[in-house]
């Protein structure tokens, strides 16, 4: 079945507007994606008809809210093919999911002299939580280098794994460069050493079908707002054997079975990790986003996105003085570039006047910028509702940048 982008765009009300007098061209999807009407409606319906706290009341609304919240969890379970629904923990987003694992699994298992292994491609969210842990424990954060195309150097990865490595934490897809990492293979390699692996899937789930069993990931985290759902909600998937053995991350309501001043008995999974009133409407909105994504044939979505990215790569390459940053063989959704002699912020500002939204800066990946010797890049990032005609608008505006900066 062919992917019908015009039809898909009708599902996203925000796309149909003008910015500075021009049709909006939204190319900042790696920062956050837009939301289809069904997601917005599901959240509105929740507040208009169901709003109540979960897991607490015996009254009708509370039971309904609990059922909807738990139903959303089941949708996530199916979405990533998690073996058990209790392995799906609702968190605020990718950042909170990684912090949870660093603070809970990490604090329990990482000792002085141990090592935590990440790559040189990571988002700050997959660097700083591990730095905090390593600082606290006297452990060492080790970094797998990347090559000039922005790919992880696999031989170096293998060399860095050893019996001091307590966890490996890797991005699925780089938000700064778009590199798709060979995570299945990298997970298998770490497992040969008996080391668990966390995957930061923030940029994975919006672009590809993720199956945590096929990947054999021990933890997989992602954010609702980058996969056409709302902000403030995300998922930590973890294998039961790990989650069960981990201490709670935060204390409070819902994460306990019983409390006395002498002793607290923690709740079962996943509630042990869900202290306090959760983001109920966020979970419901995320469930609606998953229902929406289920309507698509992901083979045609992937083919459409790959074709769009390749078209965009070819199209921008003819712009004078433009240099792509990140030219990995496997990429998804991201085109990062610099134009010699022009600060990326100026590129962003000129594009904005044309109605084009891109991101400029370090993309919360400063070490990646350092690796490529640039302070910042301009980044156009795509979702399946973007079109080749929008790429043409982008290229025209980039010509304008060169005219302005002569």
Q: What residues act catalytically? A: 364
Q: Minimum CB separation from ligand PMP for residue 284, in Å?
A: 18
Q: Which stretch binds ligand PMP (CB under 6 A): 90-98, 139-147, 250-258, 388-396?
A: 90-98
Residue 278 — φ and ψ, nearest 5°?
A: -80, 175
Rg for the chain (alpha carbons), in Å?
22
Scan residues 342-381 and list those touching ligand PMP (CB under 6 A): 364
Q: Minimum CB separation from ligand PMP for residue 172, in Å?
A: 8
- Fill in the DSSP letter of residue 204: T
Nearer to ligand PMP, 94 or 393 (CB): 94
Residue 176 buriedness (CB in 10 A; 0-12 / 13-18 / 19+): buried
Q: Give buried/exposed letters for 46-80 (b at 16+ CB in 10 A, else e).
A: beeebebbbbeeeeeebebbbebbeebbebbbebb
Does residue 93 interact with ligand PMP by CB under 6 A? yes
SS3 279: coil
Does residue 123 interact with ligand PMP by CB under 6 A? yes
CA distance 159 to 315: 39
Q: Minimum CB separation from ligand PMP for residue 364, in Å?
A: 6
Nearer to ligand PMP, 29 or 402 (CB): 29
Q: Is there a contact between 174 and 203 (Cβ–Cβ < 8 Å)?
A: yes
Contacts of 10 (CB under 8 A, 6+ apart): none
Nearer to ligand PMP, 83 or 276 (CB): 276
Nearer to ligand PMP, 25 or 202 (CB): 202
SS3 106: helix
CA distance 95 to 124: 9
Q: Minimum CB separation from ligand PMP for residue 226, in Å?
A: 6
Does residue 165 interact with ligand PMP by CB under 6 A? no
Check whether the bond before 380 is cis (ω within 30° of 0).
no
Does residue 202 interact with ligand PMP by CB under 6 A? yes
- Fill in the DSSP letter of residue 105: I
Contacts of 25 (CB under 8 A, 6+ apart): 354, 355, 356, 357, 390, 393, 394
Tokens describing residue 78: 């199916």
One of 99, 165, 175, 386 touching ligand PMP (CB under 6 A): 175
Q: Minimum CB separation from ligand PMP for residue 200, in Å?
A: 5
Tell me how crowded residue 375 is: count the other CB atoms within 10 A of its CB: 12
The residue assigned the tokens 């979960």 is: 54
Q: Is there a contact between 248 and 275 (Cβ–Cβ < 8 Å)?
A: yes
Give the count of residues interacting with ligand PMP (CB under 6 A). 14
Nearer to ligand PMP, 129 or 355 (CB): 129
CA of 373: how far to CAs of 148, 326, 370, 380, 399, in Å? 11, 12, 5, 19, 24
Q: Minimum CB separation from ligand PMP for residue 203, in Å?
A: 5
Does residue 133 interact with ligand PMP by CB under 6 A? no
Q: Which stretch binds ligand PMP (CB under 6 A): 43-51, 123-131, 316-324, 384-392?
A: 123-131
Q: Is there a contact between 261 and 279 (Cβ–Cβ < 8 Å)?
A: no
CA distance 381 to 174: 11
Binding mask 278-317 for ligand PMP (x = CB under 6 A): ----------------------------------------
Residue 282 — φ and ψ, nearest 5°?
A: -65, -45
One of 125, 165, 267, 393 touching ligand PMP (CB under 6 A): 125
Scan residues 11-30 and list those touching ligand PMP (CB under 6 A): 30
Q: Minimum CB separation from ligand PMP for residue 279, in Å?
A: 13
Nearer to ligand PMP, 3 or 372 (CB): 372
Does residue 200 interact with ligand PMP by CB under 6 A? yes
One of 33, 66, 94, 381 touching ligand PMP (CB under 6 A): 94
Q: Minimum CB separation from ligand PMP for residue 50, in Å?
A: 25
Binding residues for ligand PMP (CB under 6 A): 30, 93-95, 123, 125-126, 171, 175, 200, 202-203, 223, 364
């Amino acid at each position: 079945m062919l992917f019908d982008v015009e039809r898909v765009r009708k599902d996203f009300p925000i796309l149909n507007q003008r910015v500075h007098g021009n049709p909006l061209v939204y190319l900042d999807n790696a920062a956050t994606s837009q939301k289809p009407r069904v997601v917005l409606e599901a959240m509105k319906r929740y507040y208009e008809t169901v709003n109540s706290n979960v897991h607490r009341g015996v009254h009708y609304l509370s039971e309904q809210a609990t059922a909807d919240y738990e139903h959303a969890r089941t949708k996530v379970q199916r979405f990533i093919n998690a073996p058990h629904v209790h392995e799906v923990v609702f968190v605020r987003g990718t950042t909170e999911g990684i912090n949870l694992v660093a603070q809970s699994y990490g604090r329990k298992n990482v000792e002085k002299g141990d090592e935590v292994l990440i790559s040189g491609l990571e988002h700050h969210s997959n660097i700083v939580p591990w730095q905090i842990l390593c600082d606290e424990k006297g452990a060492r954060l080790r970094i797998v280098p990347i090559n000039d195309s922005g790919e992880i150097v696999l031989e170096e990865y293998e060399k860095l794994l050893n019996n001091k490595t307590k966890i490996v934490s890797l991005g699925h897809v780089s938000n700064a460069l778009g590199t798709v990492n060979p995570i299945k293979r990298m997970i298998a390699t770490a497992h040969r050493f008996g080391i668990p692996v966390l995957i930061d899937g923030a940029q994975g789930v919006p672009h590809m079908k993720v199956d945590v069993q096929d990947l054999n990931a021990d933890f997989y985290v992602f954010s609702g707002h980058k996969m056409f759902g709302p902000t403030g909600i995300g998922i930590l998937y973890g294998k039961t054997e790990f989650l069960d053995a981990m201490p709670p991350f935060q204390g409070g309501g819902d994460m306990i079975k019983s409390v006395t001043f002498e002793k607290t008995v923690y709740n079962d999974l996943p509630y042990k990790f869900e202290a306090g009133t959760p983001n109920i409407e966020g979970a419901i909105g995320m469930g609606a986003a998953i229902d929406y994504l289920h309507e698509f044939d992901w083979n045609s979505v992937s083919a459409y996105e790959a074709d769009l990215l390749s078209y965009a790569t070819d199209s921008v390459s003819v712009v004078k003085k433009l240099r792509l940053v990140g030219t990995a063989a496997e990429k998804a959704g991201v085109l990062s570039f610099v134009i010699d002699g022009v600060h990326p912020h100026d590129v962003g500002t000129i594009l904005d006047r044309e109605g084009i939204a891109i991101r400029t800066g370090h993309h919360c990946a400063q070490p990646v910028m350092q690796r490529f010797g640039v302070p910042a890049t301009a980044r156009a990032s795509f979702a399946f509702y973007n079109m080749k005609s929008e790429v043409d608008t982008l290229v025209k505006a980039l010509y304008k940048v060169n005219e302005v900066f002569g």
